[in-house]
Amino acid sequence: MIRMRIAIALPVLLLGACTWVKMEPGGTGVRVLGLDAPVDGCTRLGEIGVSVKDRVAFYQRNDLKVRDELETMARNEAIGLGADAIRPLEEPAAGEQRFTAYRCGTAAPGRSATPARTTPPASQPLQLEDAETYPIREE
């Protein structure tokens, strides 16, 4: 009886960890902006609504995986609108989220045309005490 329950529960749990949404060609060219990121110089093209399963039977899926799939779906949809950037309108809820699609061109949204000057950080030696090493077997 216990083996039967395990045989039923195991596939459900494993499916809950799977990524069901794949990135379309061109989706990698769509930038994802932060929730409050400025979109100066970008043209608003529309809104995108996406949803995925956040629960599989009694199993609550990993929140990070659900967010990742929602973002991937929104990027895939943005391609059809001719957008090169998306910005979430809200946090995900019950496996659903809305995004705004933008065309920003080559200018990065929220950044000035001239980059700020920064000085590189001081070089610090590598702390080997904190590193683990493993031998490599050559055949």
**Domains in the chain, CATH or no CATH each:** 29-106 (3.30.110.70)
φ, ψ of residue 69 to 5 degrees: the values are -65, -40
Q: What b/e readout covers 95-131, taking b as 16+ CB neighbours within 10 angstroms?
A: bebbbbbbebeeeebeeeeeeeeeeeeeeeeeeeeee
Q: What are the start-end ranges of the E strands in 14-139?
A: 31-32, 43-51, 55-56, 59-60, 85-88, 96-103
pLDDT at residue 111 greater than cutoff 50: no
pLDDT at residue 87 greater than cutoff 50: yes
pLDDT at residue 126 greater than cutoff 60: no
pTM of the full structure: 0.62
Evaluate whether 100 touches 49 at the Cβ level (below 8 Å): no
Residue type, 70: L
pLDDT at residue 24 greater than cutoff 70: yes
